[in-house]
Amino acid sequence: MNRTITGFSKLTKTEKINWLVDTYFTDATSAKSLLKQYWNEDNKLQQLHDEFIENTITNYYLPLGVAPNFLINDRVYAIPMAIEESSVVAAASKAAKFWYDRGGFKTEVISTEKIGQVHFMFSGESSKLEQFFKATKSTFIEDAQPLTKNMEKRGGGILDIKLVNKTQHIDNYYQLHATFETLDAMGANFINSCLEQFSKTLKREAQNFEIFSSEEKNIQVIMSILSNYVPNCLVRAEVSCNIEELTENQDISAQEFAEKFVQAVNIAEIEPYRAVTHNKGIMNGIDAVVLATGNDFRAVEAGVHAYASRTGQYSSLTHAKIEDGIFTFWMEIPLALGTVGGLTKLHPLVKLALELLGEPSAKELMQIVAVAGLAQNFAALRSLTTTGIQEGHMKMHLMNILNQFEATLEEKTKLIAHFKHNTVTHSAVVEAIDNLRH
């Protein structure tokens, strides 16, 4: 059977679906009805989703949860989280409540600089290129004026452009390395448009630069693109309290807990295998808020992990210490986020999420997202160093298993009560369902 097609994108949605289900599914009817089930009845809303991307055939839902009681710099937030993993929102809520009673989270935006680069080849004397750049630097900024004037009115724009010589790595390779302030916008379109203008200016001005030879005049631009590595777009989040205040669990003293917790962080600082999982837990919180607020979680992920390896070894994003009887746990993390542009005014649930957060500025959102990450890591390390992760995890996972076996409401009530006092494992749940049914 021919499984390829030309002109797929030109088909109507119904034609696309018909072709797909007939070509790839044994039970075309049920595949079709499932796709239809996730379709929005409201045509306008569905059209919005259809037009976000190409070839939309239905919608893919994720739960949108809320973790309330987050005290951040003395203001209370209920944080929206879009995520499928069962224990994440519960863990965030627990950590929020825990720190609410201990002064809350303290945060601070350290810097907000974004980066973009024009990568190009110049076969000539680098001193001549430096001379050229010195003479034309202001032209780059002037030529970009039509693009930057609105951003400048609001206090942002191009911060600087530098010529970088990379010929020790690749013959003839140079960069224009530009920095930007994009205020409440994530800034990808703004930065990429500026960079593409820089590349035009670069090629034009090189042609006109008299001391270049005819070969030198032919600068070859390879590409112009923003960088998702933003080590100078940094936010810090922190919690601290007296060690005695850390007690909650009767089985472990506050001192022992604090020490184990700090050791767990130390381990993630020096052991990459652990650091990756440790940071994954942080990203459980971060991605969920980034996604709920319509930001680009792939960009955030890529930038955060590059930052975690900035010393040459992948390491923990969070740090912890005990000093003079005070337990402190903190994180500094690069987050390029926007609260205007992109999906923010387009996706109705993103608008709702931003309203729930009190229409934050990008700087405020950076702080909220960082807190969600720190809280998630706190919750994970608290479980890992005390009860172990599976207790909480499996309790939350219980509902997934019950749904898998299509448990009725009555069965669910009975089994949830049963597993309040019994360890949840997949086989124990299956056995309990079986006992109940027979």
Q: Which residues contact ligand MEV (rule: CB under 6 A)?
A: 85, 277-278, 280-281, 284, 380, 384, 389
Compute the least distance from the CB of residue 305 to ligand MEV, in Å: 15
Compute the least distance from the CB of residue 379 to ligand MEV, in Å: 8
Residue nearer to ligand MEV on the CB measure, 64 or 384:
384
Q: Active site includes 397? A: no
Distance CA 396, CA 28 (A): 34
Compute the least distance from the CB of residue 339 to ligand MEV, in Å: 27
Compute the least distance from the CB of residue 398 to ligand MEV, in Å: 17
Residue nearer to ligand MEV on the CB measure, 187 or 392:
392
Q: Active site includes 85? A: yes
Residue nearer to ligand MEV on the CB measure, 79 or 317:
317
Residue nearer to ligand MEV on the CB measure, 280 or 363:
280
Query: Which residue out of 200, 203, 280, 351 is catalytically annotated?
Result: 280
Which residue carries 């000093």 as its tokens?
323
Query: Which residue out of 184, 196, 296, 364 is catalytically annotated?
Result: 296
Q: Secondary structure of the chain in the HEC alphabet? A: CCCCCCCHHHCCHHHHHHHHHHHHCCCHHHHHHHHHHCCCCCHHHHHHHHHHCCCCCCCCCCCEEEEEEEEECCEEEEEEEECCCCCHHHHHHHHHHHHHCCCCEEEEECCCCEEEEEEEECCCCHHHHHHHHHHHHHHHHHHCHHHHHHHHHCCCEEEEEEEEECCCCCCCEEEEEEEEECCCECCHHHHHHHHHHHHHHHHHHHHHCCCCCHHHHCCEEEEEEEECCCCCCEEEEEEEEEHHHHCCCCCCCHHHHHHHHHHHHHHHHHCHHHHHHHHHHHHHHHHHHHHHCCCCHHHHHHHHHHHHCCCCCCCCCEEEEEECCEEEEEEEEECCCCCECCCCCCCHHHHHHHHHCCCCCHHHHHHHHHHHHHHHHHHHHHHHHCCCHHHHHHHHHHHHHHHHCCCCHHHHHHHHHHCCCCCCCHHHHHHHHHHHHC
Query: Which residue out of 13, 49, 85, 128 is catalytically annotated?
Result: 85
Residue nearer to ligand MEV on the CB measure, 16 or 278:
278
| Residue whose beta carbon is closest to ligand MEV | 281
CA dihedral 251, 256, 260, 263 (to 10 degrees): 180
Residue nearer to ligand MEV on the CB measure, 348 or 388:
388
Q: Active site includes 393? A: yes
Q: Residues with Cβ < 8 Å from 14, sequence gap 6 or more? A: none
Compute the least distance from the CB of residue 268 to ligand MEV, in Å: 8
Q: Active site includes 280? A: yes
Compute the least distance from the CB of residue 151 to ligand MEV, in Å: 38
Residue nearer to ligand MEV on the CB measure, 306 or 384:
384
Compute the least distance from the CB of residue 382 to ligand MEV, in Å: 10
Question: Which positions are annotated as active-site residues?
Answer: 85, 280, 296, 393
